[in-house]
Structure 1
Amino acid sequence: MKPLQISPETALKLAEKLNVPLEQLMHMPQHILLQKLAQLNEEENK
């Protein structure tokens, strides 16, 4: 599995928002990352 194709700035912001270490974020499968982002978005919209 290759690392996510995102910029360093985006990676830092996502790691901070999702409360996960940067290394874990970069090796997270893309479908899991998208699922976590969807959950975060739902929580913000409530």
Structure 2
Amino acid sequence: MRPLQLSPETAIKLAEALNVPLEQLMHMPQHILVKKLMELEQQPKEES
């Protein structure tokens, strides 16, 4: 399986948003990444 084709900036932002290590994110299957992103969107957004 090939690593995801993401820019370094996008990869860092996604890793922080999903709270996963960068290495784990880069080797995550694409369908799992999409599922996690959808779950992240479903969560209520907290305003600070």
Query: Normalising by structure 1, what TM-score?
Result: 0.92
How far off is 1:44 after superposition? 3.7
Q: C-alpha distance in 1, partners of 2:42/2:30? A: 18
Tell me the CA shift for residue 37 of structure 1: 0.1
Matching residue of 1:42: 42
Query: How far apart are 1:23 and its partner, in Å?
Result: 0.2
Structure 1: 5+ residue runs without aligned partners?
none
Letter of the 1:9 counterpart: E
Percent identical: 71
CA-based RMSD of the aligned residues comes to: 1.0
**Which segments of 5 or more consecutive residues in structure 2 lack a partner in the other structure?**
none
Higher Cα radius of gyration:
2
Q: Which 4+ runs in 1 deviate beyond 3 A?
A: none
Greater fraction helix? 1
